[in-house]
Structure 1
Amino acid sequence: MRLPLAMLEVFTAIARHGSLRAAAEALGIKPSTVSHQLKALEDQMGTALFIRTTRSVSLTEAGRALMRGAGPAFDQLGAAVESARTTGHAARGTLKIALPEFAYHQFVAKALPSFHAAYPEIELELSLTDALSDLLGEELHAGFRLGDNIAEDMVAVRMTPPLRLAVLASPDYVAVHGAPETPRDLLQHNCVRYRFLSAGRIAPWTFTGEEGEYAAEVGGSLIVNSLPASVDLAMRGVGLAYTFRDYCAEALADGRLVTVLEPHLGKTPGLFLYFPREYRQMMPLRLFMDYLRGFRDTPSDG
C-alpha cells in the first residue's frame, strides 16, 4: 500500500495545532480540504484518529500511536527537503574534483591554503588522475582536462591560456650527449617517456612543422607514470623529458634545466574545468572555480 503522505501531513498538522481550522491555516489550504483528507485517512485506516467536541479536538489511542511515528517522520522529511533545497547554494558542503597530477602541482596546490582559509566549510576532495573521469559514475562534481572537447551535456570553462610545451634536459646531459637539433634526433637520445595510468598508452611527443602538428618517434630506457618523476629524472641528467614549460619555470630560471628543440614546439589548448550543466549554480563549485581563476591572475610577490 502506498503511504497516504498528503493525508498524514494533514493529520500531523491537526494534532500539532489543535483544530482543523488552525491546521488549514498552517498548511495554506481550505478547512473543507482538511476535513475531507482526515475523513479519507480514517476511512482508509478503519479507525477514528480524533475525538471531536464542539470545543476541542483530541487524539484517540490510535491517533496517539500514529502521531508517535508520523510526527518525527515528517520532521525528518522537512529537514531533508530543506537540506536538498539549500545544498549547493551556500559556501559549505563537499566538492569532489578529478584533475591530472600536473594540474594539481601547477595550478591548484598553491591556491589551496588560502582557499581553505576563505571557505573553511567547503570540504574539498581531489582525485588525481590523468583519465577523463566519468563524473556521474564516480560521483564527482567536476574535472580538469586539456582542451574543451567534452560531452555535449557538460559545461567547459577555460582555466588557463594555451600551455607551451617543452623538451627539457639538464646542462650536464647536454654537455655529455649534445642537444638534438630536430625531433628526428630524439632517437639518438634517452627520452624519459610518460605512460598514462588510465589508458595504459605512452604519451606522444608532438611537434609543429610546415604541415602542422605531428608526433615524433622517441626511444629511451625509462618509462614513468608520474610527471614530477620525469622532470626529476631530467634534472638528474638521466635523459630528456617532455612536458609543459610553465611546469618547470623555476628549474629553467635557476639553470637546473634547459630547453631544446624550441623552434619545433607548439602549445596545448590549455586546461578546462568541465562539469554537468546541472551544477552551474552549485555554490562551492563556483567559488572554487572563480577563486582559482582569480588566484592565477593575481601577481605573486616578488
Structure 2
Amino acid sequence: MNDDPFNGLTEFLAVAEHKSFTLAATRLAVTPTAVSHAIKLLERRTGVLLFQRTTRRVALTEAGAALFARLRPAASEIDDALLELNGFRDQPIGTLRLTAPRLSGALLLEPLIPLFRQAYPQVKLDISLDDSTVDLTAAGLDAGIRLGESIEKDMIAVRLTADLQWSVVGSPAYFASAGKPKRPEDLTSHQCLGFRFPTAGSPHRWEFRRDGRDFTVGIDASLTVNDRSFMLAAARNGLGLAYACDLEIVDDLASGRLERVLQPYIPLMSGFYLYFPSRTQTQPKLRAFIDLATRWIASQGGLRRD
C-alpha cells in the first residue's frame, strides 16, 4: 500500500473546484474512472467521506469542505512557488554563494562585487573568504575561486588571471641586519615567516626552479601564521622573509617597504580560476557572474602586474 500522504490530493482539489469528476478528469488529462479511483482511495485512507455523489451533481461533505478550505491556499502557494521557480531558469535571481581565498577576495571580489550588484540587483551574494580547501557541494556553495593547481579535476574551471609571480621579500631593515640570501639554500640561515593553510598540517613550502628543475625549500619558520596580512605586516616590521604573491605586495614593492631576493629562482605559478561542478553551470546567476568577471578581468589586462 502506498502511504504517500499527497496521493489523491490533486484529484480531490480538481473535483472540489469543478464539482465534477468529468471536468476534473479533463483538466488533469486522465479518465473519470482514474479520478474516481483516486478519490475512493483517499476516502478509504482517511476514513472520511469527502463527496456526496448523485447522478446529477457532486457536492462536498462537511469534512470535504473543511479539507478543501485548508488545502486550497496551500495549493495556491505551491503554484506560486513553481511559477517563481521559472524565474531561476530564465534570469539571474536568488543567492549566489561563493568561496575565495583572502588574497583573491581583495584582488578580485572587492572590485567585482559593486559591478555585479549594480548589474544584477536581484541576486544576493553570500561570500566566504577561506584559505582552506572547500568541498563546494558539501558546503552548499555554487562556485569558488582558487589557484588552478588546487582545483579538483572533476570541476569545471574558468581562468580569471594570468599565471602569478611570487617573490621572497624582506624589509630593508632586515636585509641591513641579516644580509641577503644568494641562493634558495641560504634560507636555512635566515629568519623566515611561514604561512599555514587552515587545513594543512605544515607550513607552505617555498617553490623554486633551477636549471629547469623545480624544487621546494622547507623553511624553519621563526613565526608561522594562517593569515597573509599578518605575515606581510611581520615582514614589513623586519621580523623575517616572506614568500608572497606579487599581486599582494604591489604597494610594498613600489614604496620600498619590501624588497625582492632570489627572483631568478622563482617560476611563474598557476593563476586564479573560478571553479564549479558541471551541474551548476546552467544557473543564470552563476553564468552572469562568470560573464561579468571574465569581461572585467580582460579589461584589466588579465590583472598581470609587471
Matched, 1:221 2:222: yes
Counterpart of 1:75 in structure 2 is 76
What amino acid is the match of 1:207?
F
In 2, Cα distance between the equivalents of 1:245 and 1:209? 20
**Cα deviations by residue, 1:82-106 (Å, 9 ceiling, x for unpaired):** 4555446532212222221111112
Contact kept, 8 Å, 1:12 with 1:67, in 2: the verdict is: yes
Contact 1:184 1:217 in 2 (8 A): no
**Counterpart in the other structure of 1:194:** 195
Residue 45 and residue 184 in structure 1: after superposition, are their counterparts in 2 closer, same or farther (change >3 A)? Answer: closer
Residues 25-52 of structure 1 deviation map (CA, whole Å, 9 limit, x = unaligned): 4333344443443344445555542234
Deviations 1:138-181 (A, max 9, x none): 22222222225644543222222211111112233334433221
Is the aligned partner of 1:210 residue 2:225?
no
Q: Alpha carbons of 1:46 and 1:279: their partners in 2 closer, same or farther (altered >3 Å)?
A: same
C-alpha distance 246-19 of structure 1, shift in aligned 2 (>3 A): same
Give secondary structure in 2 for the equivalent of 1:5: coil
Cα distance in structure 1, aligned partners of 2:5 and 2:180: 79
Q: Given that residues 89 and 281 in structure 1 are in contact (C-alpha distance below 8 angstroms), is that contact kept between their aligned partners in structure 2?
A: no
Give the letter aligned to residue 137 of structure 2. Answer: L
Q: Which moved more, 1:144-153 or 1:289-298?
A: 144-153
Which aligned pairs between 1:17-56 and structure 2 lie closer than 5 A? 17-45=18-46, 47-52=48-53, 56=57
CA distance in 2, matches of 1:138, 1:102: 21
- Sort the Cα spacing of 1:31 and 1:230 in 2 relative to 1 into closer, same or farther, 3 A: same
Cα pair distance change 1:47/1:190, threshold 3 Å:
closer
| Contact 1:205–1:217 (CA under 8 A) maintained in structure 2 | yes
1:253-281 CA distance string (max 9 Å, x none): 23332211110001222222222222111
Q: Does the 8 A contact of 2:8 with 2:41 survive in 1?
A: yes
Give 1:122 shift: 2.0
| Aligned residue runs from structure 1 range 120-159, under 5 A | 120-147=121-148, 150-159=151-160
- 2:234 & 2:293 partners in 1: Cα distance? 30
Q: What is the TM-score with the length of structure 2 in the denominator?
A: 0.86
Query: CA contact under 8 A between 1:108 and 1:292: conserved in structure 2?
Result: no
Change (3 A) 1:76 1:165: same
CA distance in 2, matches of 1:210, 1:242: 21
Spell out structure 1 runs of 4+ moving beyond 6 A.
none
Deviating more after overlay: 187-196 vs 171-180: 171-180
Secondary structure of the residue aligned to 1:231 is: helix
User: Who is 1:183 aligned against?
Assistant: 184
Distance 2:56 2:218 in 1: 93
Alignment check: 8 A CA contact 1:208 1:214 kept: yes
TM-score normalized by the length of structure 1: 0.87
Deviation readout 1:211-236 (Å, 9 max, x if unpaired): 51111243342222111122222223
| 184-193 or 149-158: bigger deviation | 149-158
Structure-2 residue corresponding to 1:64: 65
When structure 1 is superposed on structure 2, of 36-45 and 236-245 the one drifting more is 36-45
List gaps (5 residues or longer) in structure 2: 302-306
CA distance in 2 between counterparts of 1:37 and 1:291 reads 51
More displaced stretch, 201-210 vs 11-20: 11-20
The answer to whether the aligner puts 1:95 opposite 2:96 as a matched pair is yes
Instruction: Give the direction of change, closer, same or farther, for the CA distance of 1:4–1:202 in structure 2 (3 Å limit).
Output: closer
- CA gap of 1:31–1:152, structure 2 versus 1, over 3 A, is farther
CA contact (8 A) 1:98 1:143 kept: yes
In 1, the alpha carbon distance for the partners of 2:89 and 2:274 equals 18
Partner secondary structure for residue 216 of structure 2: strand
The RMSD of aligned alpha carbons is 2.6
Task: State the identity as a percent.
Answer: 36
Q: Specify whether residues 111 and 213 from structure 1 end up closer, same or farther in structure 2 by C-alpha distance, changes over 3 A only.
A: same
Cα distance in 1 for residues equivalent to 2:237 and 2:90: 49
Deviation at 1:65, TM superposition (A): 2.4
In structure 2, the residue corresponding to 1:136 is in which secondary structure? helix
